[in-house]
Structure 1
């Protein structure tokens, strides 16, 4: 059966790309002996897409596992790629990931995706359709539809997947599960999560200046699936997170690190409803500024999850960012730190409370004196190396083959988690949308604290159709559609 392509332009690349014969400095495992064959070196050959910044450190963790070689590098910005090119001088370098996949697909086993959120899905899908194992930085995708598609693709193509939320491999979340399983805090009905993100500009207008594109950057490739816009400064390498066309705001940055523990502890999957409120942005004249391209400076989203086999009823989850924090629990002393100061997770149960920091690190029972009194046996296997082990776990899983090794954040777990994060963003975007009303008072914001009811099977908000435009994006012309 002919393999499907997700990009309309890939056929053009096959016609126009110069098929250079790449010297095999590393022979990939699948070439040596078919599916499941172990190379003599037992090394996984990894191709990196987005190899500067976080991508650079991702590749280092794979390499440092001792079981992976970095065979190919790809980045749209030569400045960002410089460090990885120096670190892996034998790796072949590309600017266009589509050309790399078309030309070199027989020469690598796995792909690491560390690009901005808006391009995660097309890059990961293309890799999986080639039968490549995939590691994707958090959040897994930009849109809910994309998360569902990648989750289905991982099962269809039988590849080993992992999302880059390293805390899922940490000891902290496993300790929280063991306390909960031992009924130390009873049945959890409420979870409160907070972060100091964003630490980049949000709630601002799109810059009006039009500087020249740096010679080292392929701006069109960086835009990828996003709408065509002129290049602006200070978007790369990190401030893109605050713009809806590219990033997913504070939730996209920290949500996977903070919401994963409640998902695992309570067995959560898909939310049934969500609502949100956002901070006001004021101009010098005292009127609210409306910058719909930009994520708001702060927000509070509330998700409801149906009863699971690990809860006795629904669970309410509060997400707060931009400096908003929940009320300090009465069990916490006045001089004791709430979370880690900037971020935290609070589980509220019928018999007590437990708390953790970012990445579910430093789990604690409340009051803190209980941590000296309560002793629960360790029942869950720990991941060696914790955060570092998260990378090694994926490498070892890919070497073993699909279904042979348990991973901390495969797409069947990471997909629903990502969808919940993006569900909260649906409510945040609706809360920030102005709607004209014939009341004589100008613009009103009826989306704020509107409860959005979610039809999970059909991936639709059933009571507020304006929200559905954010469930699935329209890709820029020439970038096709996401299909299995």
Structure 2
């Protein structure tokens, strides 16, 4: 069963962080620490899935629910009637700060950081959906606060905990294709919008608090079909395009396996910017400094939008076999490793032919490719870490760097065809005109 089928059927429409002493002190009131009281901010399709998968852990008690959409809130409340309900996450956190132990954030991208940082300031562990933030400055701030406060954190990239992605990571680190010099990754999803900015306004739905939905983002009149629900990913003020949606999932395994940091250069090929919607097609080329698992430098090319990936020698499969519609290809000095997305086994290609691999030595057990059973693992990992039983595999220390890489690609799309040079230490571009897009001005609401 794939993720889409699972969500439809259910009606829902190795890097870690040590558990810090300061966090254990925050949980003293739990006594034996055998339960975790959770607050859930954002209860749309993904938020409701997050709620169900988190609550499937036997130690979880759902105590608070929040959404700006009254219909979404009522749907979640019907499932967890004992939880208190809120429309404004700020009210929830202020009123229930002594009654919650962890916060799960699954709002549109532009609200990830405002909600998460407020919870973290109150010393609450946070599970935040991907991409971690909407701006580079927010990613760095969330990473910094998590480290300073010693908080358990996790970004919502569930495939990080799945069999095939763990296997690919181990294979690459074991040198199965030698030093990797290039990665090519792709998704044909179309989270872009090439049309004009809408004019006028439409009546705000009765069940939506538009002011709270906008939150810190610039104020705009409501237009049906452009923002809520779902379409916000296409719009620069609220989402991060296809790169910020599927890119995070598909980047994750190569990024993790190769132990990459942030890139040195970024160049995006796309249509000229409109300042409103993301381009429908993008080709983003990154150059990364080398690691123990790469050549002296690493080239990474991302393709998204209709018709991708293009025909390329690097992407040819044995026997003329067709590529899966989403995936990644590692190219190394001894061959290629093909990782289709998702829940499909990685394949070794040497001299144009598939080769058998000895995977039993990695002790990963029998492959399980059922989203209903695999999906909750990433959430349970977070809950267990909060209770002092293990560590998370996608903490904000890791997630912030991955998200920064993604966001640098979206910024480069504002300057198509131009190579941008990134100074990671100073957190600035050499090209000064690009720096204004590293952060946003928060609206007071």
State which of 287, 290, 298 in structure 1 corresponds to 2:281: 298
Cα distance between partner residues in 2 of 1:141 and 1:305: 21
Q: What's 1:10 paired with?
A: none
Cα distance between partner residues in 2 of 1:356 and 1:428: 26
Cα distance between partner residues in 2 of 1:193 and 1:360: 16
Q: What's 2:12 paired with?
A: none
- CA distances 1:284-331 after superposition (whole Å, capped 9, x unpaired): xxxxxx632110111101011101132231111101101331415475
Cα distance between partner residues in 1 of 2:343 and 2:413: 24
Provide closer, same or farther for how the CA distance between residues 34 and 425 of structure 1 changes in structure 2, counting only shifts above 3 A: closer
1:325 corresponds to 2:292: no
1:460 corresponds to 2:443: no
Report the alpha carbon displacement of residue 38 of structure 1 after superposing the two structures with TM. 4.5
Conserved 8 A contact 2:382-2:392: yes
Cα distance between partner residues in 1 of 2:353 and 2:299: 27
Report the alpha carbon displacement of residue 380 of structure 1 after superposing the two structures with TM. 6.8
Cα-Cα RMSD: 2.3
Paired residue secondary structure (2:415): helix
Conserved 8 A contact 2:159-2:249: yes
Q: What's 1:70 paired with?
A: 62
Cα distance between partner residues in 2 of 1:55 and 1:174: 25
Query: TM-score scaled by structure 2?
Result: 0.88
1:228 corresponds to 2:212: no
1:427 corresponds to 2:427: no
Paired residue secondary structure (2:98): helix
Cα distance between partner residues in 2 of 1:265 and 1:360: 17
Please, which moves more after superposition, 306-315 or 270-279? Answer: 306-315
State which of 148, 151, 154 in structure 2 corresponds to 1:159: 151
Q: What's 2:129 paired with?
A: 137
Report the alpha carbon displacement of residue 178 of structure 1 after superposing the two structures with TM. 2.2
Q: Which runs of 5 or more residues in structure 1 are unaligned?
A: 1-29, 281-289, 432-448, 480-484
1:173 corresponds to 2:137: no
Conserved 8 A contact 1:52-1:84: no
1:259 corresponds to 2:251: yes
- Residues 159-238 of structure 1 aligned to structure 2 (within 5 Å): 159-198=151-190, 200=191, 202-234=193-225, 235-238=227-230
Paired residue secondary structure (2:168): helix
Number of equivalenced pairs: 414
Report the alpha carbon displacement of residue 40 of structure 1 after superposing the two structures with TM. 5.6
- Residues 323-362 of structure 1 aligned to structure 2 (within 5 Å): 323=306, 324-326=308-310, 327=312, 329=314, 332-334=317-319, 336-338=321-323, 340=324, 342-359=325-342, 361-362=344-345
State which of 374, 380, 387 in structure 2 corresponds to 1:392: 380
Provide closer, same or farther for how the CA distance between residues 387 and 121 of structure 1 changes in structure 2, counting only shifts above 3 A: same
Q: What's 1:115 paired with?
A: 107
- CA distances 1:319-369 after superposition (whole Å, capped 9, x unpaired): 11013314154751355231x2x2110001111001112257421112696
Cα distance between partner residues in 2 of 1:296 and 1:42: 48
Q: What's 1:416 paired with?
A: 401
State which of 84, 95, 104 in structure 1 corresponds to 2:87: 95
Cα distance between partner residues in 2 of 1:166 and 1:160: 17
Cα distance between partner residues in 1 of 2:135 and 2:270: 20
Conserved 8 A contact 2:336-2:349: yes
Cα distance between partner residues in 1 of 2:39 and 2:27: 18
Cα distance between partner residues in 2 of 1:40 and 1:473: 43
Report the alpha carbon displacement of residue 428 of structure 1 after superposing the two structures with TM. 0.9
- Residues 13-52 of structure 1 aligned to structure 2 (within 5 Å): 35-36=27-28, 38-39=30-31, 42-52=34-44
Paired residue secondary structure (2:243): helix
State which of 237, 246, 254 in structure 1 corresponds to 2:238: 246
Cα distance between partner residues in 2 of 1:86 and 1:122: 27
- CA distances 1:229-282 after superposition (whole Å, capped 9, x unpaired): 1111112111000010000001111111010111111110111110111046xx
Cα distance between partner residues in 1 of 2:318 and 2:326: 18
Report the alpha carbon displacement of residue 210 of structure 1 after superposing the two structures with TM. 0.9
Conserved 8 A contact 2:33-2:387: no
Cα distance between partner residues in 2 of 1:307 and 1:201: 32
Provide closer, same or farther for how the CA distance between residues 42 and 325 of structure 1 changes in structure 2, counting only shifts above 3 A: same
Cα distance between partner residues in 2 of 1:332 and 1:232: 45
1:311 corresponds to 2:294: yes
Report the alpha carbon displacement of residue 41 of structure 1 after superposing the two structures with TM. 7.9
Conserved 8 A contact 1:303-1:317: yes
Cα distance between partner residues in 2 of 1:361 and 1:105: 42
Q: What's 2:18 paired with?
A: none
